[in-house]
């Protein structure tokens, strides 16, 4: 039996069309080095998605493998319950706090961004219960946000496909606008006016729900899966003012943005956010091991510490919290990020990549917008550039372009009518040339195919 047939018989894939998969089978990845991956048939691709926004230092980093091996030989596992610790997780918590804003105080480790955001929900509720405000339970999340897919995190997520048929979201989650300046900013409204509008709508929601019932607001600094949506200038300062007025916590979901992707250490530093809780994952270990972190502020820690005598223990955690091998991998990963100044490279390479995309496809009649910060970018495809009319989703324009890009030796991600790019932070000028050339050919091929089908006018 071939691996492809074994896969179809045995493996249940996440975020995959079951029917398509059973018909077409998997694409099996076999090896990787630098920014390139190679499949089981020997085809080589430039990974313009860094796996799933995560392989920040690139593939094949032997020092991370060596760190994991040494730790596996010394202590492959021990739990972190009841005050038990291991050296890598202690050192990693200290390292994370040195990266984080000065007011952040403690690090709680998990295994994924999803479980970290579930931890954050419980932390918010626990914090308010322990300070005598048990009615503060509601969490404001944004339309088109992505915060994970577990029951709690999936409720925070603002994408209908993650809710439909799963009986989500939970009733404690309330929703406000996204920051989509291309689609949702009213015509004629300035960026500053859009910021004021979004802050006003948030405040109106809080007042409608009752400030004494609203506990927290959660946001990705740049919204990822929702379309790489960059906030308008001053947005987070305006939001923070609203939250401060009503004693509402700010949760910054840094799972994608954190550890350099935006060309800054975190989205919080890039946009001047003062979070009470930070969610970290992907770039923490560059995907070499599953690990996440919920990082809490001194404000929250003081309440937890001062009320600790009221409970036997903080009764939350996971078998693999502070896993020693994962922590060792993360430490080695951060060594590379710091030593090679990958935060700085993300800033400069991101500027170069965006300029190259605009030069190659910026004038394409079906490219509506090219946006992003650092090495977190998206191209939005449109049926009509002048009116910004979107393609009918049934045409699967994003998926078509991704399929054509694979044929060109480039991996990017479809997000409806959008194409997302989040390559490793090691990206070079030569890599940019390869990525843009392949994507440009894919965009041309996909739109030509649509024209042949009569789905759009042929290019003149």
The pLDDT value recorded for residue 346 is: 99
The pLDDT value recorded for residue 135 is: 98
Residues of the chain with CATH 3.90.1150.10: 34-57+341-452
* CATH architecture of structural domain 63-339: 3-Layer(aba) Sandwich (3.40)
Q: What is the pTM of this model?
A: 0.96
The pLDDT value recorded for residue 460 is: 42
CB 47 within 8 A of CB 27: no
The pLDDT value recorded for residue 225 is: 98
Rg, Å, the chain Cα set: 22
pLDDT, tens digit (0-9, with 9 covering 90-100), for 191-237:
999 999 999 999 999 999 999 999 999 999 999 999 999 999 999 99
d(CA 166, CA 151): 9
CB 282 within 8 A of CB 258: yes
pLDDT, tens digit (0-9, with 9 covering 90-100), for 37-74:
999 999 999 999 999 999 999 999 999 999 999 999 99
The pLDDT value recorded for residue 455 is: 86
The pLDDT value recorded for residue 457 is: 61
Q: pLDDT tens per residue, the chain (460 residues)? A: 999 999 999 999 999 999 999 999 999 999 999 999 999 999 999 999 999 999 999 999 999 999 999 999 999 999 999 999 999 999 999 999 999 999 999 999 999 999 999 999 999 999 999 999 999 999 999 999 999 999 999 999 999 999 999 999 999 999 999 999 999 999 999 999 999 999 999 999 999 999 999 999 999 999 999 999 999 999 999 999 999 999 999 999 999 999 999 999 999 999 999 999 999 999 999 999 999 999 999 999 999 999 999 999 999 999 999 999 999 999 999 999 999 999 999 999 999 999 999 999 999 999 999 999 999 999 999 999 999 999 999 999 999 999 999 999 999 999 999 999 999 999 999 999 999 999 999 999 999 999 999 988 654 4
* CATH architecture of structural domain 34-57+341-452: Alpha-Beta Complex (3.90)
């Amino acid at each position: 039996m071939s691996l492809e047939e074994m896969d179809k018989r045995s493996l249940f894939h996440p975020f995959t069309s079951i029917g398509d998969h059973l018909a077409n089978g998997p694409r099996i990845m076999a090896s990787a080095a630098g920014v390139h991956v190679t499949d089981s048939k020997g085809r080589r691709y430039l990974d313009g998605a860094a796996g799933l926004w995560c392989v920040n230092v690139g593939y094949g980093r032997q020092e991370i493998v060596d760190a994991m091996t040494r730790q596996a030989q010394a202590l492959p596992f021990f739990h972190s319950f009841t005050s038990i610790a291991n050296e890598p997780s202690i050192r990693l918590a200290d390292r994370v706090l040195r990266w984080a804003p000065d007011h952040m105080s403690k690090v709680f480790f998990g295994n994924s961004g999803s479980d970290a955001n579930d931890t954050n929900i419980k932390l918010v509720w626990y914090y308010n219960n322990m300070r005598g405000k048990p009615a503060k339970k509601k969490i404001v999340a944004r339309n088109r946000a992505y915060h994970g897919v577990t029951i709690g995190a999936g409720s925070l997520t603002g994408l209908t496909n993650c809710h439909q048929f799963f009986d989500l979201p939970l009733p404690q989650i309330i929703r406000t606008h996204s920051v989509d300046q291309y689609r949702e900013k009213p015509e004629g409204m300035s960026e500053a006016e859009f910021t004021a509008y979004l802050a006003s709508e948030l405040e109106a929601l809080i007042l409608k729900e009752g400030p004494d019932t609203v506990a927290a607001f959660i946001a990705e600094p740049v919204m990822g899966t929702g379309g790489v949506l960059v906030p308008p200038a001053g947005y987070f300062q305006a939001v923070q003012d609203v939250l401060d007025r009503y004693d509402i916590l700010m949760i910054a979901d840094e799972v994608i943005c954190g550890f350099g992707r935006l060309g800054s250490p975190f989205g919080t530093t890039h946009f001047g956010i003062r979070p009470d809780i930070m969610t970290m994952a992907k770039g923490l270990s560059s995907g070499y091991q599953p690990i996440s972190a919920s990082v809490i502020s001194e404000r929250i820690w003081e309440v937890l510490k001062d009320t600790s005598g009221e409970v036997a223990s903080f009764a939350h955690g996971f078998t693999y919290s502070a896993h020693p091998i994962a922590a060792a991998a993360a430490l080695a990963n951060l060594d590379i990020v710091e030593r090679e100044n990958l935060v700085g490279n993300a800033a400069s390479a991101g500027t170069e990549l965006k300029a190259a995309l605009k030069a190659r496809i910026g004038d394409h009649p079906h490219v509506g917008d090219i946006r992003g910060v650092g090495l977190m970018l998206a191209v939005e495809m449109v049926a009509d550039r002048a009116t910004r009319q979107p393609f009918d989703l049934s045409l699967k324009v994003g998926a078509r372009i991704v399929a054509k890009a694979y044929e060109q030796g480039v991996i990017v991600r479809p997000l409806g009518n959008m194409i997302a790019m989040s390559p490793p932070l090691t990206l070079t000028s030569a890599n940019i040339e390869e990525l843009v050339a392949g994507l440009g050919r894919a965009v041309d091929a996909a739109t030509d195919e649509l024209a042949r089908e009569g789905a759009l006018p042929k290019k003149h």
